[in-house]
A and B are shown apart, each in its own frame.
Chain A
Amino acid sequence: MDTVFGIPGGSVLPLYHELAVASIRHILTRHEQAAAHAADGYARASGKPGVCIATSGPGATNLVTGIANAYMDSIPIIAITGQVSVAMIGRDSFQEADITGITLPVTKANYLVKNIRDLAVTIHEAFHVAATGRPGPVLIDVPKDITTQRAAFHYPPRLHLPGYRSRVEPHALQVAQAAAAIQAATKPLLFIGGGVITSGAHEEVRQLAEEQDIPVVMSMMGKGAFPEQHPLFIGMVGMHGTAAANYAICETDLIIGVGVRFDDRVTGKIEAFAPKAKIIHIDIDAAEIGKVVAAHIPIVADARQALQALLAKLPGKMERPAWRQQIKRWQEENPLRYEQCGLKPQYVIEELYHLTGGRAIISTDVGQHQMWAVQYYPLERPRAFLSSCGLGTMGFGVPAAMGAAIARPGETVVAISGDGSFQMNIQELATLSHYRIPVKIVLLNNGYLGMVRQWQEFFFDRRYAYSEMAGNPDFVKVAEAYRVPGRRVTTREEVVPALQEALETEGPFLLDVLIDREENVFPMVPPGGTLNKMVTGGRQE
């Protein structure tokens, strides 16, 4: 941890007083929510916990969305909040908010430090808890007077956490059963999620897939955990997954779920999910097993360890040509496609892919552009795709990209955003400008809350209730006002040169791309629908 993100205020003034002379870099964001998302992006991109700081009351409550976001995606962040002095707590003091109470359901753990002697050990414990096991956000609430006292530094090397077990060994018997099930299966399918990235199990996944000839599908959290250009890769499953991936789920006889939680956006109608399959479910969180789908073979363990144990039980190679061919046919019959006219968002992302050689770190906001980013920017490596998957938080993309750019200097970081989402943290242009953080914003501007408009088109009689963004500003001018260079793109021909300019310009850059306004995301499984019943494109449906 070398950088923290935050905004000062009354109750953290003593803390900031010291921070100013400490060897830790502090990035002043323009909203605490952005500080939390930046810490989140930092953690996703680096694998290390991200840290954000806010003052008591409104500063702390402004962090809540970012904390909830990290909780849903199991991202390790540490939120340090100021609190009113110990004696003032509980009196509705100025800028008092019960932030440990407020964040109870969205933190892995939280602490109110009432004694200076507990401070160091609490921080130690917080980092340990946030980063180990199934990671998650941890909040430390520190009353102002605690930060003005002095105490001997008490930092026990060993934590006392009798109720917390961060390491779980895979159960040998269950591993053996899983191995036998894989050998017996004719149509097995690896279904990988965020847990693979967290545990660094991508190499093991690849080895298992290749040696046992098992095709791979992913949740959005799993993007980058398996090379998407690999012949065994089928795509994302679920609502906006690829047709082939969804068909594969419906046909497979064995799902090997690794670090996935079977979210409803993935499963569709749960009774109809993978009707022919046995399920091996590998997860470090025992509570995930059986929460949504019943697992025939549960393995509670770190994904990497579990896969290593599984690989040891599976010597030799396997070939499953019939299953592979079946999948290939689905892929050929149902490729991702869009019309080659106008200014299509998919085209913009494809060109971005080519110009960056697929090596950019991509963050997204939430909406149609997010799905297009998943579909048209295939990744080869983990920790290069940052998206608010579980909570679906508009406003995540730009601050998360900031965090990633700081965690991974020298890499190209692109925030693919929408005109709605961008305006939820548009003030972060100031942070980008202030620190010259080299985030390239590609704004896929359709003048709509596009995903909302798409649902209204399909499920609400095209009554576009409050989904048009009529008051949008000239985003290039807004960027320029913050001294962030920008360019507007209105035709297909301008896309490549504009992307080139953005990528070649040092520091931050904003591209405002006026895309076809009513472009839709396909395929689409209607909410609560069965995965093999997809709407696959064209306005006629």
Chain B
Amino acid sequence: MKRTLSVLVENRPGVLTRVAGLFSRRGYNIDSLAVGRTENPSISRMTIVVDGDEQIIEQVSKQLNKLIDVIKLSDITDDPHVGRELVLIKVNAEPAVRGEIMQIVDIFRARIVDIARNSLIIEATGDADKIDAIENSLRPFGIREVVRTGKIAMLRGAKTRGMEASGDGAGE
């Protein structure tokens, strides 16, 4: 079972090590982890995709919540959300097959972002299924390199995963 966790963390040194270390230390499987700062520069958001049964996910969430740098954690898997990954694919592209590749790029609403004599770089965004699909479609041409981000996600609608804090020193 894959779950998507949206985690707000304080932008302090070592926070990524702490989170990543927790996974390896307690034997949890991390599928992907994407991190970047939020609208508030002192706070970052991590989107973590974890694989495990219900009990493991519960433990992961509780252990993460325990970290002092973790401000808020929500499991958004079952909430309507937009989930996106970004991929850059460097694919072999002899002039003879370029047309065919362009068609695939069109179908997936991807973009060509670099052209060399025998290869192209294709950029695509989408959910994991779509990224897998475009990768598979391009494989017959010969993929030279794939660079793929982890998933980032945002709730649909006006709702946010806010930063209302409840920790020590807040509202005292």
Contact = CB atoms under 8 A, between A and B. Distances in A.
A74 to B, nearest CB: 12
A436 to B, nearest CB: 40
A163 B70 contact: yes
B168 A104 contact: no
B82 interface: no
Q: Which of A163, A285, A291 has the most CB of B within 10 A?
A: A163
B172 A163 contact: no
Contact of B21 (A104, A108, A166, A290): A104
Interface string B25-58: 1000000000000000000000000000001001
B63 A159 contact: no
A76 to B, nearest CB: 14
Contact of A158 (B58, B67, B70, B169): B169
A90 interface: no
B71 interface: yes
Interface in B65-88: 65-72
B9 interface: yes
Interface in B131-172: 163, 165-170, 172
A166 B9 CA distance: 18
B14 interface: yes
B10 interface: yes
B130 interface: no
Nearest to B14: A100
A316 interface: no
Contacts of A100: 14
B109 interface: no
Nearest to A109: B68
A192 B10 CA distance: 35
B62 A162 contact: no
A165 B59 contact: no
Contact of B172 (A105, A128, A158): A158
A105 B26 CA distance: 10
A23 B53 CA distance: 54
Contacts of A287: 59, 62-63, 65-66
Contact of B166 (A159, A160, A165, A289): A165
Nearest to A110: B14
Interface string A153-172: 00000111111111000000
A290 B17 CA distance: 26
Contact of A159 (B65, B66, B169): B169
Interface string A273-292: 00000000000011101110
Contact of B169 (A104, A105, A161, A291): A161
A285 B165 CA distance: 18
A101 interface: yes
Say whether chain A's binding surface is mostly helix, strand, loop, or mixed.
Answer: loop
Contacts of B68: 108-109, 129, 161, 163-164
A318 to B, nearest CB: 34
A349 interface: no
Contact of A286 (B13, B17, B62): B62
Interface string B89-129: 00000000000000000000000000000000000000000
Interface in A258-317: 285-287, 289-291
Nearest to B63: A287
B18 A159 contact: no
Contact of B17 (A101, A128, A158, A161): A101
Contacts of B67: 163
Contacts of B65: 286-287
Contacts of B168: 128, 132, 159, 161, 164-166
A132 B167 CA distance: 12
B71 A163 contact: yes
A112 interface: yes
Contacts of A165: 166-168
A112 B13 CA distance: 9
A148 to B, nearest CB: 22
Contacts of A164: 68, 167-168
A285 B170 CA distance: 20
Q: Which of B25, B58, B66 has the most CB of A within 10 A?
A: B66
A104 B66 contact: no
B14 A104 contact: yes
Q: Which of A101, A128, A160, A285 has the most CB of B within 10 A?
A: A160
A110 B18 CA distance: 11
Nearest to B172: A158
A162 B170 contact: yes
B62 A163 contact: no
Contacts of A105: 21, 25
B172 to A, nearest CB: 6
Contacts of B58: 290
A290 B71 contact: no
A290 B59 CA distance: 8
Given A162-B10, A163-B69, A290 B169 contact: no
A251 B62 CA distance: 31
Nearest to B24: A105
A166 B14 CA distance: 22
10 contacts: A101-B17, A129-B68, A132-B168, A162-B163, A162-B167, A163-B165, A286-B62, A286-B65, A287-B62, A289-B62
Interface of A: 100-101, 104-105, 108-109, 112, 128-129, 132, 158-166, 285-287, 289-291
Interface of B: 9-10, 13-14, 17-18, 21, 25, 55, 58-59, 62-63, 65-72, 163, 165-170, 172
Given A163-B165, A164-B68, 11 more contacts: A101-B17, A105-B25, A128-B168, A162-B163, A162-B169, A163-B67, A163-B72, A165-B166, A285-B66, A286-B62, A287-B63
